[in-house]
Amino acid sequence: MRTRLGKAILFSAAVFGVSAFVATNTPVHAASVKVTSNRALSNNVNSRNYLANGSNALYNKAGVLEGARVVAGKSTLAGLRTKGDAGQSYFRGYRVARLSNGSYYMKVVSFDKSYRGWIYVGKSNAAANTQSVSGGLTYTETFKRSSVDSDIASATYNFKSTPLTYTQPDWTQYKVGRNTKSTSASTTDSLKVTAVGTKTNGRDNNATYYYVEDANTPAANGWIKAADVVKAGQSVVNANQVKVNYVDGDGNIVSSQTFTNPNYQTQSAANYLGTSISGTVVNSIPSGYSAPADASANNAAIAAAQYGGEVNFTVTKNQANLFSVSPKYSVTVNTKSYSSLPGDPVGQDAVVTGNDGVTEKMSAKLAKLAAATTTNATSQTQVFRTADIQKALSDAGLDKFYILEYTGFDTNQPVSTASATGQPNLSGLLGGTNSLGGSSDLTSLLGSAGSDVLGGSGLSWYFIRSWWSFR
């Protein structure tokens, strides 16, 4: 009896012993990891801004400590990394703890205070270099400054609406925000831009900010979104609008247009405007102009567009030739009236390529000729020889002409002519689209009488290339 009891007791002890081991294995391991140091960070705040990268979760305490629970999982934190907010999802680090197993954890809080807790940052002391962390955090710059362009620095601005500036651009630093004294300023105050920068990581669509100094209310000095100021004297561009300035190669404004997007809250300004090839901006290019072949600058300008702001879109003036200039001639042949005949490159100041290979406006070539025939004279009695005149014409690119001549079918006599120093493009007359972007079909150019012309009566045309000759 005693023997059986002894065996039973021994068996029970063995069973309970195993049960106790299985139940307490993990807690005993967690309990063996201790916090060996926990210190507040005093490094520059700019070096303690982070993106959560989703590699590790955020805990209420170091994740391997007993009683640790998840505050935000990996997938949640990975989503915050690419979140298109204004910067609320950035994290600020403010404490670092070292554990007895050699791991380091950093205590962080999101800029909007929605998340707070501890996250693994590697085996190196993050306090020694807060920008060099691993684990679940990636150091980031939330705002990058750039040089102030001269045209911005020299301009005077006004607040677009109720004045409000920031000590630092909003949501680029933790607990640093509005300059409450700026509300005492007036929308008519004169502002000068002394610094420029942009948000990063896609926050607020990488919005551009100006640091403005208010001559009338110095207490209002601070950072403000570029879209929230307007150049003095210019019309206000509203929050659902983008103003596009079509400028030439020298930066001169050809025309401006303000576009309004009813879907501005869900569609970015860049997406709304399109590209340099298609979309809202290209479809509204001023008549007589087109987008340049090199689209890089315009695409960059569109990509940086913000609602309430302006965009400069470079355009080039279309090069007119003999057949693509605005029609001018009106004639009557065999009792038939013909109007809108193409031609007159001089009157239209067409851009042509001379025999010298130089492409420029007709007026520029004529100016060269005028300069050559006046400045070369040493006295009022000087006689210009044929060779002198020929050289002047050649230097100006005017030594060869291409002539378009309209003649009557019946008489074969010239009716009207137009000339240019650049060889015209035949396709510009007979069909397709000319360099000015309009139809150049002969029928449309000749108006209502065009069908009669093409039907076998009226005008014919041909080219004559002639040289100046002197005897």
pLDDT range class, residue 105, cuts 50, 70, 90: very high
pLDDT range class, residue 449, cuts 50, 70, 90: very low
SS (H, E, C) 268-304: CHHHHHCCCCCCHHHHCCCCCEECCCCCHHHHHHHHC
Instruction: Note the pLDDT of residue 414.
Output: 47
The string of pLDDT tens digits covering residues 255-269 is 999 999 999 989 999
3-class secondary-structure state, position 80? helix
* Percent of the residues in the chain that have a pLDDT greater than 90, as a whole number: 51
Q: What does the alpha-carbon distance between residue 461 and residue 469 come to, in Å, rounded to a whole number?
A: 24
Q: Which residues contact 83 (CB under 8 A, 6 or more apart)?
A: 89
CA 136 to chain centre: 33
Q: How many CB atoms lie within 10 A of CB 11?
A: 10
Q: Sign of the C-alpha dihedral, residues 338, 344, 347, 352? A: positive
3-class secondary-structure state, position 20? helix
* Domain range annotation of the chain: 35-139, 144-231, 241-317, 329-467
- In the predicted structure, residue 360 carries a pLDDT above the cut 90: no
319: DSSP letter: P
pTM: 0.53
Q: Which of 193-207, 267-281, 453-467 has the lowest mean pLDDT?
A: 453-467
- In the predicted structure, residue 377 carries a pLDDT above the cut 80: no
Q: What does the alpha-carbon distance between residue 119 and residue 116 come to, in Å, rounded to a whole number?
A: 10
Element spanning 406, H or E: strand 400-408
Q: What is the mean pLDDT of residues 203-215?
A: 94
447: DSSP letter: G
The string of pLDDT tens digits covering residues 309-322 is 889 999 988 754 44
C-beta of residue 369 within 8 angstroms of C-beta of residue 356: no
CA distances in angstroms from 45 to 94, 95, 130, 175, 367, listed in the order given:
9, 12, 10, 11, 63
- In the predicted structure, residue 393 carries a pLDDT above the cut 80: no
- In the predicted structure, residue 250 carries a pLDDT above the cut 70: yes
Q: What is the mean pLDDT of residues 98-115?
A: 97
* Kind of pairing between the strands at 35-40 and 58-59: unpaired
147: DSSP letter: P
pLDDT range class, residue 276, cuts 50, 70, 90: confident
Instruction: Select, from the ranges 2-11, 208-217, 365-374, 427-436, the one with the highest average predicted confidence (pLDDT).
Output: 208-217
Q: What does the alpha-carbon distance between residue 232 and residue 216 come to, in Å, rounded to a whole number?
A: 14
Instruction: Note the pLDDT of residue 213.
Output: 97
* Kind of pairing between the strands at 58-59 and 191-199: unpaired
